[in-house]
Chain A
Amino acid sequence: MYQDIDEPVDVIVVFENGAMKPIRFRWNGRPIKVQRITGTWKADIGQYRIRYFAVLDDSSNYFQLAYDERNTSWILNKIWVE
C-alpha cells in the first residue's frame, strides 16, 4: 500500500530535452539514486503547479516525489510498502 510521507527532501535534478528529471535525493540522511522514472504528472493548484515523479531506486523501491513550483521545494510524497 501507499504510505504518505510528505517530508521535505533535497533533490538533485538534471534538465534533459526541456524536461526536469530527479536523479538523486536524500531522505532520512540516506542518499537514494533514482534508477528509473516510471511516471510524471502535474497538478495545478490555483496559479501554481506541483510536478509529480514516480521513481524507482536500484532495488525497485517506489518513491513519489513532488516539486512545488510555488516555493521551489521538493517533498517525498509517498512510498510503497508491501
Chain B
Amino acid sequence: MTGKGSNKLIMHIDMDAFFAAVEQVHLPALKGKPVIVGGTPEGRGVVTTCSYEARPYGIHSAMSAAKAVKLCPHGVFINLSPYKYTHLSCEILRMLSGFTPLVEPVSIDEAFLDITDVAERYGGAVNLAALMKKSIRDRFGLTASIGVAPVKFIAKMASATSKPDGLTVVEKGREIEYLWPQPVRNLWGVGPKMEESLKKLGIATIEDLAKYPKPKLKRLFGALAECMIAMANGRGESEITPGYLAPVEKSMGHEHTFYRDESDMAKIKGRLLYLSDKVSRRLRADDCRGKTVNLKIKLPDFVRHTRSRTLNIPTDCAETIYSIACGLFEKSGFAGAPIRLIGVSVSNIEPVIGNDQLDLSLDNSRTSSTCDRINRIRYIESVMDAIRGKYGDDSINRAGVQLRD
C-alpha cells in the first residue's frame, strides 16, 4: 500500500452503462428507451446492465430478468453480444494506451491508468481526462465517467461520483476532505452486509470509521480491519499492473439459466459437461489449473445454493471438473428437483510452471490405470483445443454435451 504521500496520479475510467450504450449507438431507435441487456422478456436469466432510462424503474445489474420485467414491462430486452462488447472494449483500451502505456484493465468496461508522467503534456489531469472523454465520444459515440486521485480506490470512488459522463478529480492532500463525509457504504469493498455490521457499531460515515478505535475493529473484522482503516484514512494502492502483466484470475466459471426450470438429470448433466468443458478450456488457455471445483444451483424461488470440493492436485481437465460437479450435484439434495440455474467454477487457481507435465498423480488412491486414463483424456482435450483453435469453439464437442434446453 502506498501512504498518504503518494505522488501518483491515478485515473479510473468507467464506461457508462457500457453494453446498453453500445446497443443504443448501434441502433439509434433505442436511444431514450429503457434498454435491458441480458435476460429475456419471458423473465429468464439475469440483467447484465441497463441503460440510464431503465434505472428510475429500479433495474440494476445482477437483478433477475423476472423482476426486471415486473418493474419495467415496456423495457427493451436485448441478448448479450459478447464479441461486440469485447471488440469495442479492446478498441477503447488500445486508444487509451496511446495516452499512457500504463493501463490496467479491471473488467470489460473499466480500467485504471497511471497518468503521473503524461498529465502535464496535456495541460494537467483535467485536460487529459476531458480529451480522453472527447476521443471516446467522437470515435465510439459512448460516454465514460472518470475519476482521478493519488490512489486507485479513491479514483474508482471518484469516477462513480458524478455518473454518467462525469469527471471528478481528488487532488493530493484533499483525500480526507473527499472521503470523510461520504457514507461508509461508498468505500470500495463495503457491501450491504458489511454496512449493516458497521452501522451496528455506530459507523455511518467514512469519518466514523477512521475515528473508530482500531483494536475493537481488528477484533471484529480481523485482517480486513487494517485495510478498511487504511482506506478510511486515504491510503491505498497506486501501482498499476498493465494488462500484459495481469495476474492470474482468482476463479473461472460459467453458468446457465435454463429456458424452463429443469429437473431432467440427463439434461442437467449434459449442461454441466458443457460448462465444465468451457471452464477447462479457459484454464488451459491461460496455462492455469485449479484445486477447488464449485457448483452453483439456483432454484425456481431464486434461492442460491453452492457446493464445493477441493482436490489434492490442481486440474484443468474437463472430465475431472465434470465428474466432481456431477458428484456435488447428486449429493446436493436437489437431484430431481426443478433447477433454474446451474453453474460450475474452479477456484484456488495457480499457474502451470515450466513444461506441461502429464498427470503422474501424487494421490496414492489413484491406480496407474486411472492415471493412464486421465493422461489420455488430457491428450484428447489438447487435440480438441487445437481443433477449436483452428475452426472455432463450437467445431467439436463431447457427445454428452447439452447445448440446447
For the complex, count residues of A whose C-beta is within 8 A of B.
18
Residues facing B in A9-52 (CB within 8 A) are 38-39, 41-43, 45-48, 52
Chain B residues with CB below 8 A from A42, complex form: 83, 87
User: Which of chain B's residues have a CB closer than 8 A to the CB of A80?
Assistant: 27, 29
Q: Once the chains bind, are B83 and A43 in contact (CB under 8 Å)?
A: yes
Q: Which residues of B lie under 8 Å from residue A48 when comparing CB positions?
A: 391-392
A54 to B26, CA, bound (A): 6
- In the assembled complex, how far is the CB of residue A78 from the closest CB belonging to chain B, in whole angstroms? 10
Confirm or deny: A62 has a beta carbon within 8 angstroms of a beta carbon on chain B: yes
Tell me, yes or no, whether B265 is within 8 Å of chain A by CB: no
The reply to whether A38 and B83 contact each other, CB–CB distance below 8 Å, is no
Whether A46 and B29, one on each chain, are in contact in the complex, defined by CB atoms closer than 8 angstroms, is no
Minimum CB–CB distance from A41 to chain B (whole Å) comes to 4
- The prevalent SS among residues of A at the interface is strand
B25 touches A2 (CB 8 A): no
Chain A nearest CB, measured from B195 CB (Å): 38
A72 at the interface (CB under 8 A from B): no
Residues from chain A with a CB closer than 8 A to the CB of B88 are 41
B214 at interface, CB cutoff 8 A: no
B78: contacting residue among A2, A39, A41, CB under 8 A? A2
Given the complex, which residues of B lie within 8 Å of A52, measured CB to CB? 83-84
Which single residue of chain B is at the shortest CB-CB distance from A39?
A: B26
Q: Which of A41, A45, A47, A48 has the most CB of B within 10 A?
A: A41
Contact: A39 with B22, CB < 8 Å?
yes
From the candidates A38, A41, A46, name the one contacting B27 in the complex (CB within 8 A).
A38
Interface residues of B, count at CB 8 A: 22
User: Which interface residue of B27, B76, B79 has the most chain A CB atoms within 10 A?
Assistant: B27
Q: Does B333 contact A (CB under 8 A)?
A: no
Please, how many angstroms separate the alpha-carbon atoms of A62 and B31 in the complex?
14
Contact A45 B393 (CB under 8 A): yes
| Shortest distance from the beta carbon of B360 to any chain A beta carbon, whole Å | 32
Q: Tell me the smallest distance from the CB of A56 to a CB of chain B, in Å.
A: 7
**Contact partners of B79 in chain A: CB under 8 A:** 2
Task: Give the CA-CA distance A52 to B81 in the complex, in Å.
Answer: 11
| A41: B residues at CB distance < 8 A | 83-84, 87-88
- A71: Cβ under 8 A from any B Cβ: no
- Do A38 and B84 have beta carbons less than 8 Å apart? no
Report A67-82 CB contacts with B as 1/0, cut-off 8 Å.
Answer: 0000000000000101
Compute how far the CA of A52 lies from the CA of B395 in the bound complex, rounded to whole angstroms: 20
Known A42-B87, A43-B83, A46-B395: A60·B28 in contact at CB below 8 Å: yes
Is the beta-carbon distance between B393 and A62 smaller than 8 angstroms?
no
CB distance from B51 to the nearest CB of A (A): 16
B44 to chain A, nearest CB (A): 15
B interface, CB within 8 angstroms of A: 22, 25-29, 41, 76-79, 83-84, 87-88, 388-393, 395
Q: Can you spell out 9 A-B residue pairs with CB atoms less than 8 angstroms apart? A: A1-B78, A45-B393, A46-B395, A47-B389, A47-B390, A48-B391, A52-B83, A56-B28, A60-B29
Given contacts A38-B27, A39-B84, A46-B388, 17 further A-B pairs with CB under 8 A are A1-B76, A2-B78, A38-B25, A39-B22, A41-B83, A41-B88, A42-B83, A43-B83, A45-B391, A46-B389, A46-B390, A48-B391, A48-B392, A52-B83, A54-B26, A54-B27, A80-B27
Closest 6 CB pairs of A and B: A45-B392, A41-B87, A43-B83, A54-B26, A39-B26, A46-B392
